[in-house]
């Protein structure tokens, strides 16, 4: 597999050729969107995990924004993941995952006494499957009973972030008009994938994913809620 290099530039520092390359990648994976919408969404983010190959071609990216949130008298910080796309040829690479969690460690270092949470809205089962790669507890969780505290926080954050587009009963964001959906070749799910418990759960709870419905997920980003490898990478970001 070709090697990838990761960087985390501020959105404001991205020149137009990089933005154009990101949109080409985005439009190849999502239908029902536009360059104007892409630029508008990008302008609302702080930073980008940017993946390039050895000749500098943009092969993937994930946009991020951090915002404060107060819940039940406690100050929190929320990391919201926007569009996340990696070329199919690089789906087995861990470069993105490692860069992402190291960056989260750097963000946590800024205010170590303020709990940090990851807000993720999911249009496809592959993104949903990122959650257990990073965290031990998250919602919604296909493995059993839901954490009521996390669910309550998720609903509060989503209601503030997405307004009337968020349905707390289903945990879904439905934009009107639709703000993009997976291209058919990426929305398709194989029979082998459908046999997975996590994929079945995602399909049961987001049956309209192919039309652009997004399942809202929340995960605490702290050492006590991380797998061993994730914890080590997070610690590298804390000490960088």
For every one of its 240 residues, what pLDDT tens digit does the chain have, with 9 covering 90 and above?
568 999 999 999 999 999 999 999 998 888 878 899 899 999 999 999 999 999 999 999 999 999 999 999 999 999 999 888 999 889 889 999 999 999 999 999 999 999 999 999 998 888 898 898 889 999 999 998 999 999 999 999 999 999 999 999 999 999 877 677 777 777 788 899 999 999 999 999 999 988 889 999 999 999 999 999 999 999 999 887
Distance (Å, whole) CA 232 – CA 238: 10
Q: Tell me, what's the pLDDT at 210?
A: 87
Q: Quote the CA–CA distance of 168 and 164 in Å, as a whole number.
A: 10
Say how far apart CA 164 and CA 47 lie, in whole Å: 27
Phi, psi of 219 (to 5 degrees): -145, 135
Q: H-helix or E-strand containing 22?
A: helix 16-29
52 Cβ partners below 8 Å, 6+ apart?
4, 5, 7, 58, 59
3-class SS at 48? strand
Token pair for 36: 């104007």
Length of the chain equals: 240
The CA–CA distances, whole Å, from 170 to 165, 181, 205, 216, 238 equal 12, 19, 7, 9, 36
Q: Collapse the DSSP code of 2 into the 3-class scheme (helix H, G, I; strand E, B; otherwise coil) and give the result.
A: coil
Closest CA to 101 of 84, 114, 88, 118: 118
Long-range CB contact pairs, 68-73, < 8 A, 24+: 69/117, 69/156, 69/157, 69/160, 71/153, 71/156, 71/157
pLDDT of residue 15: 96
For strands 74-86 and 116-122, give the pairing. Answer: parallel
Nearest Cα neighbor of 81 from 67, 70, 98 is 67
CB atoms within 10 A of CB 128: 24
Residues 6+ apart with CB under 8 A from 20: none
């Amino acid at each position: 597999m070709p090697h990838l290099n990761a960087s985390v530039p501020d959105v404001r520092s991205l020149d137009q050729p990089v933005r154009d390359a990101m949109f080409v990648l985005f439009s190849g994976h999502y239908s029902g969107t536009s360059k104007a919408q892409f630029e508008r969404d990008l302008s609302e983010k702080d930073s980008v995990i940017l993946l390039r190959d050895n000749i500098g071609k943009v092969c993937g990216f994930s946009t991020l924004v951090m915002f404060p949130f107060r819940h039940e008298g406690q100050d929190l910080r929320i990391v919201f993941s926007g569009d996340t796309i990696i070329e199919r040829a690089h789906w087995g690479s861990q470069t993105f995952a490692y860069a992402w969690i190291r960056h989260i460690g750097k963000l946590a270092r800024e205010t170590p006494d303020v709990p940090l949470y990851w807000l993720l809205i999911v249009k496809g089962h592959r993104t949903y499957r990122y959650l257990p790669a990073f965290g031990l507890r998250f919602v919604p969780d296909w493995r059993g009973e839901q954490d009521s505290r996390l669910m309550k926080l998720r609903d509060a954050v989503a209601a503030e972030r997405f307004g009337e587009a968020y349905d707390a009963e289903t945990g879904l964001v439905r934009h009107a008009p639709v703000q993009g959906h997976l291209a058919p070749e990426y929305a398709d799910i194989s029979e082998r994938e459908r046999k997975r418990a996590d994929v079945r759960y995602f399909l049961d709870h987001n049956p309209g994913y192919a039309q652009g419905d997004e399942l809202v997920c929340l995960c605490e980003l702290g050492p006590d809620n991380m797998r061993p490898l994730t914890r080590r990478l997070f610690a590298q970001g804390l000490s960088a």
